[in-house]
Chain A
Amino acid sequence: DSGVTQTPKHLITATGQRVTLRCSPRSGDLSVYWYQQSLDQGLQFLIQYYNGEERAKGNILERFSAQQFPDLHSELNLSSLELGDSALYFCASSVEAGGMLTDTQYFGPGTRLTVL
């Protein structure tokens, strides 16, 4: 158990809908990262937050957004969902941004999103 929690575990929804995925980092970790993992693309970095502020951005679509709250939990919002958004979404946390030079990321169990 990494100490990172994600809810829900599974989510099934229809195209065009909007969903929110939630992540609670390990106690004491200030950074939260979101990843998307699909069979053909592998694990893709979406976005990172550090202590409530956006720190780095990857291949995140404009239909997706995220935020980190004062209690450090984070939410990933996916809107206007398409079939291709079906994937596993992972949240990871680490102690600090610290240039990421020595940062180990601890991954949550993931949310499996299915768009029908």
Chain B
Amino acid sequence: SQKIEQNSEALNIQEGKTATLTCNYTNYSPAYLQWYRQDPGRGPVFLLLIRENEKEKRKERLKVTFDTTLKQSLFHITASQPADSATYLCALLHMNYGGSQGNLIFGKGTKLSVKP
């Protein structure tokens, strides 16, 4: 069956450290993968998109890698700050049969807590 899983429900780290979140998928061949941030009671906010032919993408303190052989994406936040505390969701594009339409499949998220 098709699954998208994020490594843990919660991750606690110390301020200044690098947070690494994992997203694994099975039985999908996504054209791209996205990462979102979601704060309690609010809608997800888009952070980064990485395509299947890209190994790595960076944006300020954020870095995403995409390994289609391992079927895994890693999301890194360097020099983490308490303001980075939130739930982070990965999402992949799932194309329907025939490849004409698609929709995003989301993982359940990892709740990151950065302690001062």
Which residues does A use to contact B, with CB under 8 Å? 2, 4, 33, 42-45, 48, 55-56, 58, 90, 92, 97, 99-102, 104-110, 112
- Determine the residue in chain B with the shortest Cβ distance to A58: B103
Report yes or no: B43 in contact with A100, Cβ–Cβ below 8 A.
no
- Tell me whether B96 and A102 are in contact (CB under 8 A): no
Q: Which of B45, B49, B104, B107 contacts A2 (CB 8 A)?
A: B45
A58 to B32, CA, bound (A): 18
- The reply to whether A104 and B45 contact each other, CB–CB distance below 8 Å, is no
Q: Within 8 Å CB of B42, what residues of A?
A: 109-110
Taking a contact as CB atoms under 8 Å apart, the answer to whether B101 and A56 are in contact is yes
Q: In the assembled complex, how far is the CB of residue B57 from the closest CB belonging to chain A, in whole angstroms?
A: 13
A-B contact count (CB 8 A): 57
Give min CB distance, A66 to chain B, whole Å: 14
Contact of B31 among A48, A56, A101, A104 (CB under 8 A): A101
Q: Across the interface, do A101 and B93 meet the contact criterion of CB distance under 8 Å?
A: yes
Q: Do A101 and B32 have beta carbons less than 8 Å apart? A: yes
CB–CB A107/B104 < 8 A: no
Can you give 18 contacting A-B residue pairs, CB < 8 Å? A2-B43, A42-B107, A42-B109, A45-B104, A56-B103, A58-B103, A90-B43, A90-B44, A99-B100, A100-B102, A100-B103, A100-B104, A101-B31, A102-B32, A104-B34, A106-B46, A107-B44, A108-B43
Residues of A contacting B102 with CB < 8 Å? 56, 99-100
CA of A102 to CA of B100, assembled, Å: 14
- Checking A43, A55, A104, A109 against B106 with a beta-carbon cut-off of 8 angstroms, the contacting residue is A43
Contact B106 A42 (CB under 8 A): yes
Interface residue B89 (Cβ < 8 Å from any Cβ of A): yes
Asked if B43 and A109 make an inter-chain contact with CB atoms under 8 angstroms apart, the answer reads: yes
**Least CB distance, B59 to chain A, in whole angstroms:** 13
